[in-house]
Each structure stands twice: as structure tokens, then as C-alpha cells.
Amino acid sequence: MNEAQIYDVILSPVITEKSTMASEYNQVMFNVTKTASKPQIKEAVERLFDVKVKAVNTLVRKGKTKRFRGRVGRQSDVKKAVVTLEDGHSIDVTTGL
């Protein structure tokens, strides 16, 4: 993967209460593109943040149907990656790249 493709794989970090609690177990959550595979996510995280990745777990949250002022809309599907880091490595997602 070249440099441009690495930046296209990871869209943003997920900063929620659940992801903050997961950081105690050396895990970081990212929103990734729907077509990204686990090896691509692992390579992108290792090269962008200079860390060693132990495991990558992915999930796809299906978009929900919501109503806003009586009109029906649909949220997009979102693919998330839970990246487990090796012991001794950490990522501070609040600072950015």
C-alpha cells in the first residue's frame, strides 16, 4: 500500500464512552472504509502511528431509519475496527496526526 491509500483506509478515531473504556485494555477504535480488510487496517495503523498491532476486529453497524420533522431518513452504514495493540505500545487519538 502506498502513502495515499493508507490515509484512505482510516477515516477517523471513535471517541465514545465505550472506546474510552476499551483503551484500558490497550484497544483503539477507528471508523474505516467499508471495503477495508483486516490486513489493510493493520498495516495502516502500524505505519501511521508507528506501533505494533496484535489483532484487528471489525464490525459493520447498519444504518438506522430515523425521522426528522416527520420526514423519513436513513443513516449510513459504518464500519468500525477495534485494534488491539501489543504491550508497551499506545496511541493518543486526541492529538491527531
Domains of the chain: 3-85 (3.30.70.330)
pLDDT band, very low/low/confident/very high, at 97 (cuts 50, 70, 90): low
Mean pLDDT of the chain: 92
pLDDT band, very low/low/confident/very high, at 1 (cuts 50, 70, 90): confident
What are the respective helix, strand and coil percentages of the chain, to the nearest 5?
30, 35, 35
Q: Is the pLDDT of residue 96 over 80?
A: no
Q: Is the pLDDT of residue 8 over 70?
A: yes
**Tens digit of pLDDT for each residue in 26-64?**
999 999 999 999 999 999 999 999 999 999 999 999 999
- Picking from 7, 97, 16, the residue whose alpha carbon sits closest to that of residue 61 is 16
Q: Is the pLDDT of residue 92 over 90?
A: no
Cα(35)–Cα(41) distance, integer angstroms: 10
